[in-house]
Amino acid sequence: EGAQLKTDRFGMLPIHDAVVNQHNDIKEVLSQLDLKCDGGVCYLSPENEEALKEQVKNTNISLTPEDLETKMTQVFSIIIKEGVLAAGSLWQEIVYYFAELGLHPSYFKHFTSAQIARHLHCLIAAKKVAQATESDYIHFEIEDADSAFYLTTMEPEKVAITDAKVAEYINTAQDCGFSVTFLKSEKPPMPEGKFPLGVFVVDKQQFDSSVKFEDMMDETDLQLVATPRFLQERSVEVQKLYQTLIDETMATRNTVVKVFDAPTNLAQKSGAQVLQLAAFDVDRKGSAYISEINECFRSHNVEPKRFY
């Protein structure tokens, strides 16, 4: 059936030797092989399995504990083949990231295993730098032409730096749609850390080619002004909440702020509140007000768990 990569008793692979000794051709060959996760390397304790179940409980996201476990092993396989991290310590990082850190399951639904592996690998490197400098501050960003990913510890003095970077990237989204998603973890990225992680995701999305951007300024129908991807990722119930907000904003030609109890099927915990905000764009400049909104939250000691 062909060769398989298998860890030795030290949790290392042949690919590690190839990397250390700079045998790039051998590394390339070995990275194409299947990774055999036996010997308890990818073991999930009953507590971890229960944590995965809790992750997807009380959400309207089509994601199962089995889906999460599959992504965990895929992420493990992708990163371990880089030949840098030992299997045991890497698996511990993955378990903490998926089952204990407390990121909303929409993150694991939104990103592919390859993307999550990239994020986690960057996070591990950033944690090493923080530990070496005896700092709690962790941050990095990945900006591509069509999307961007920002991760930072939620220190009040530092998170504004990331806000500014997000706002600057959004300014490059001319004549196209974009979405911004923010997720806050329940726990810090390191056991001894003081601050949770904040994740910002920006996706640029093209409108239908037949739609002229300037003709949509006074349109109120969500089905026409939203991008196809936006509509695909939101349930009918959630779309109704957005439609109501648009209608009120365009009718009043003013800023609209609404606060209400989160629908039961959309909240992970009882008592959750939804805050909706929309601004009428008088100047037709497409301002997003990311920095301003987050500064308002911080000045009132409010930390959203997530926003879209």
Per domain, the residue ranges of the chain are 4-132, 136-214+302-308, 218-280
Q: Is 39 left (phi over 0), alpha (psi -120 to 50) or beta?
A: left
Per residue in 102-134, pLDDT (tens digit) is 888 888 888 899 999 999 999 999 998 888 888
245 has a pLDDT exceeding 80? yes
179 has a pLDDT exceeding 60? yes
Residue 257: CB partners within 8 Å, gap ≥ 6? 275, 276, 277
Q: Which helix (H) or strand (E) holds 176?
A: none
The encoded tokens of residue 55 equal 């992750």
* Integer CA distances (angstroms), 69 to 88, 188, 226, in order: 17, 22, 33
244 has a pLDDT exceeding 90? yes
In this prediction, residue 15 carries a pLDDT of 63
Looking up tokens 């109501």 gives: 244
Is 117 within 8 Å of 79 (Cβ atoms)? yes
Three-state DSSP at 227 gives coil
pTM across the whole model: 0.75
Three-state DSSP at 223 gives helix
Is 33 within 8 Å of 83 (Cβ atoms)? no
Lowest mean pLDDT among 18-22, 72-76, 278-282: 18-22
Q: How far apart are CA 176 and CA 145, in angstroms?
A: 13
Question: Any bridge partners for residue 297, and if so which?
Answer: none
Q: How far apart are CA 60 and CA 54, in angstroms?
A: 13
Per residue in 145-178, pLDDT (tens digit) is 888 999 999 988 888 899 899 989 988 877 777 8
The Cβ-side half-sphere exposure at 244, using a 13 Å CA radius, reads: 9
Per residue in 55-66, pLDDT (tens digit) is 777 666 777 888
Strands 147-153 and 197-205: antiparallel
Percent of residues, the chain, with pLDDT higher than 90: 16
**Mean pLDDT to the nearest integer, 232-237:** 84
In this prediction, residue 25 carries a pLDDT of 72
Is 216 within 8 Å of 233 (Cβ atoms)? no
